[in-house]
Amino acid sequence: MTIRNVNEFLAASQQKDASQDAFELESPHMLEVKLNGRVWAKAGSMVAYRGAVNFVRQGMLEQGLGNLLKKAVSGEGTRLMKMEGQGRVYLADRGKKILLLRLAGESIVVNGNDVLAFEDGISNEITMMRKVAGMLSGGLFNIRLSGRGIVAISCHYEPLALPVKPGQAVFTDPNSTVAWSGSLTPDVVANISLGTLIGRGSGESIQLKFSGTGWVVVQPYEEVYMQRQG
């Protein structure tokens, strides 16, 4: 372990401005948002800020009536907040690795628990997987992000992106699935023999099947999603 004096530590740990983009990684686990207007972020993800910044919890109708109804039916959803003003905001999500993706008019679907932040020009829509929600104790909801701008998503450890090609379906554990291309609509399949062998509580007995052309990102970790009450 390297021992540094205070000045050496500060020099190595201080904020870096290596990009002109609104989103910049200060470390693999810390996101800096150069705020000049409005950005959406996961509620509770702010760890520090400076400047004139207001944090406002997303209103019930701001997600649109369709999203509101889906949240009411499923009892699920992701809590977002608006960060408005001018300044620097630093975001993190339980030490998870942060990935930055630039959308140029396309759509991606992200596990709702893994959405960290996105620029104001990105539209969001909650998508439900009722069959998975009924089979897994915590359920599963996703957010479709579309438009132009930068999206920050989080994952545990190093992610793996798997290509999906015609005739070459990819099967994933729902609890390890982080995101996939908007061109794909996964099917929910149940491995009855595996479920009988290891019990209903195991995520491996329920899988997502991705077919067509696109990609899917998985993490080397099975995350447990707690269903929100009320």
Does some domain include residue 91?
yes
According to the model, what pLDDT value does residue 95 have?
Answer: 96
According to the model, what pLDDT value does residue 229 have?
Answer: 37
189 half-sphere exposure, CB direction, 13 A CA radius: 16
Does some domain include residue 170?
yes
The count of domains in the chain is: 1
According to the model, what pLDDT value does residue 6 have?
Answer: 76
Q: Write out the chain's pLDDT in tens, 230 residues.
A: 677 777 776 777 777 776 789 999 999 999 999 999 999 999 999 999 999 999 998 655 455 544 444 444 334 445 789 999 999 999 999 999 999 999 999 999 999 889 999 999 999 998 876 555 544 544 468 899 999 999 999 999 999 999 999 999 999 998 899 999 999 989 988 876 655 544 444 445 789 999 999 999 999 999 875 444 33
Does some domain include residue 210?
yes
According to the model, what pLDDT value does residue 59 have?
Answer: 56
Does some domain include residue 200?
yes
According to the model, what pLDDT value does residue 168 have?
Answer: 95
Does some domain include residue 132?
yes
Give the structural domain span for 179: 20-218
According to the model, what pLDDT value does residue 192 have?
Answer: 62
Does some domain include residue 229?
no
Does some domain include residue 142?
yes
**CB environment 113-149: b (16+ within 10 A), e (fewer):** bbbbbbbeebebbbebbeebbebbebbbbbbebbbeb
According to the model, what pLDDT value does residue 190 have?
Answer: 81
Q: What is the CATH number of the domain that holds 154?
A: 3.60.160.10
According to the model, what pLDDT value does residue 199 have?
Answer: 47
For the chain, the DSSP string reads -----HHHHHHHHS------SSEEEEETTEEEEEEEEEEEEETT-EEEEEEEEEEEEPPTTTTHHHHHHHHHHHS----EEEEEEEEEEEE-STT-EEEEEEEEEEEEEEEGGGEEEEETTEEEEEEE-HHHHHHSSS--EEEEEEEEEEEEEEESSS-EEEEEBTTB-EEE-GGGEEEEETT--PEEEE-HHHHHHH-TT-GGGEEEEE-SSEEEEE-SS-PPPPPPP-
Which residues, including other chains, have CB under 8 Å from residue 103's CB and lie 6 or more apart? Answer: 122, 145, 146, 147, 148, 149, 150, 151
Rounded Cα distance, 134 and 75, in Å: 12
Rounded Cα distance, 116 and 9, in Å: 28
Does some domain include residue 8?
no
